[in-house]
């Protein structure tokens, strides 16, 4: 089985799929569909939303009980294989997107292939996760609704830890509108958007709360049109991470409550929450059950981690579906030059996912599960 799994990962990694290249994502979807059909004996539905290609396998005629979730887009631009070629050496697999998260996609196929009965399973592989899932969020939430569990095949945290808590993400742009003037002849007649932005950066930087793990980070910034002109406009981006929905809401109110400092300046605040938090309660019972299954399978004891990065698991947890994330490859270097997967962990991890799916199909239900509207 391991040889076939490695071959499938190679097929996926060697088909490059940067999120922003629609043709590349479509070609990657073709590769994912071929690998999935080879292992599951059925082709997926192809769902194209605003040019972005997602794939869905539904098994059985009844309502879904478990959603397996992954994505096939990556952050790596076309041509990355020339500098970061696919390779297997010394028990380590490398290649752009192998860890985040093409190995996890292949693992999902092999986990389901181990099951005699897949009725009640939905497998959804999306093509825009790395850019915030702008077209697939509604699809994800619709497929998750009514499920007893959502299992996310994203890569593990450090040391193979499952991701049991993810911060929610909010994204903003703070735009300052001032008044242009000649910087040498009469700067006093202008309203300097750069100065206004500088003051707003300090205000925004103070909204975070280290005690609660809330980060509010000003990032990309631009202003003005020429070195000898008082800037009339400018803006900066803000990245927010929060562990709870209450904190996400508090920050949103504070961001939209910003007021200009300079006389004559005007502010425009654009944006808001992008992904809700995946709070620890949403994964607790699933993690406990996975830990028991790991022991039965003779696997190393599972560990858990709370992480700042978000995934599509934030969406399933956000609508009340018990969600366990980080079930994919063990390794490291996501989005980095040293991206890699530890081959030795692939078989056991795949068997764990298969066992979790089987137990949910057999009737396992979280004590905190909430009901949804069901499959549309």
Cβ atoms of 122 and 57 within 8 Å: the answer is yes
Q: How far is CA 5 from CA 108, 270, 285, 344, in A?
A: 10, 44, 29, 12
How many CB atoms are located within 10 Å of the residue 115 CB? 16
Of 183, 167, 179, 199, residue with least CA distance to 307:
167
Decide: residue 23, CB within 10 A, 0-12 exposed, 13-18 middle, 19+ buried. exposed
Cβ atoms of 282 and 151 within 8 Å: the answer is no
Catalytic hit among 8, 73, 128, 339: 73
> Sheet containing 92-94: which strands, arranged edge to edge?
87-89, 92-94, 340-342, 331-332
129 is catalytic: yes
Catalytic hit among 8, 16, 128, 129: 129
**Any residues with CB less than 8 A from the CB of 209 and at least 6 apart, and which?**
247
Active site residues per annotation: 73, 129
């Amino acid at each position: 089985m391991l040889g076939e799994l490695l071959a499938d990962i190679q097929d996926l990694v060697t088909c490059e799929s940067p999120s922003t290249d629609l043709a590349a994502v479509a070609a990657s979807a073709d590769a994912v569909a071929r690998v999935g059909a080879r292992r599951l004996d059925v082709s997926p539905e192809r769902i194209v939303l605003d040019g972005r290609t997602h794939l869905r396998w539904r098994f059985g005629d009844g309502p879904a009980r478990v959603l397996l979730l992954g994505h096939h887009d990556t952050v790596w631009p076309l041509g990355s294989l020339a500098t970061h070629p696919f390779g297997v050496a010394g028990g380590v697999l490398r290649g752009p997107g192998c860890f985040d998260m093409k190995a996890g996609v292949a693992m999902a196929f092999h986990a389901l292939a181990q099951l005699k009965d897949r009725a009640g399973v939905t497998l959804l592989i999306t093509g825009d996760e790395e850019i915030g899932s702008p077209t697939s969020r509604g699809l994800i939430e619709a497929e998750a609704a009514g499920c007893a569990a959502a299992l996310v095949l994203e890569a593990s945290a450090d040391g193979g830890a499952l991701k049991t808590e993810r911060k929610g993400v909010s994204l903003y742009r703070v735009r300052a509108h001032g008044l242009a003037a000649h910087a040498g002849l009469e700067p006093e007649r202008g309203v300097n958007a750069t100065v206004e932005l500088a003051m707003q950066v300090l205000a925004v930087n103070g909204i975070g709360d280290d005690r609660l793990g809330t980060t509010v980070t000003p990032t990309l910034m631009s202003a003005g049109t020429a070195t000898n002109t008082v800037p009339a406009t400018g803006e900066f981006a803000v990245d927010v991470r929060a562990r709870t929905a209450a904190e996400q809401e508090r920050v949103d109110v504070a961001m939209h409550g910003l007021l200009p400092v300079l006389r004559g300046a005007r502010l425009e605040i654009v944006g808001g929450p992008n992904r809700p938090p995946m709070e620890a309660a949403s994964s607790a019972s699933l993690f406990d059950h996975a830990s028991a299954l790991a022991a039965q399978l003779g696997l190393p004891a599972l560990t858990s981690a709370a992480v700042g990065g978000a995934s599509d698991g934030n969406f399933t947890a956000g609508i009340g579906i018990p969600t366990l994330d980080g079930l994919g490859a063990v390794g490291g270097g996501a989005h980095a030059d040293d991206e890699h997967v530890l081959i030795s962990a692939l078989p056991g991890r795949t068997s764990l996912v298969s066992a979790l799916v089987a137990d949910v199909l057999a009737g396992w239900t979280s004590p905190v599960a909430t009901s949804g509207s069901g499959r549309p």
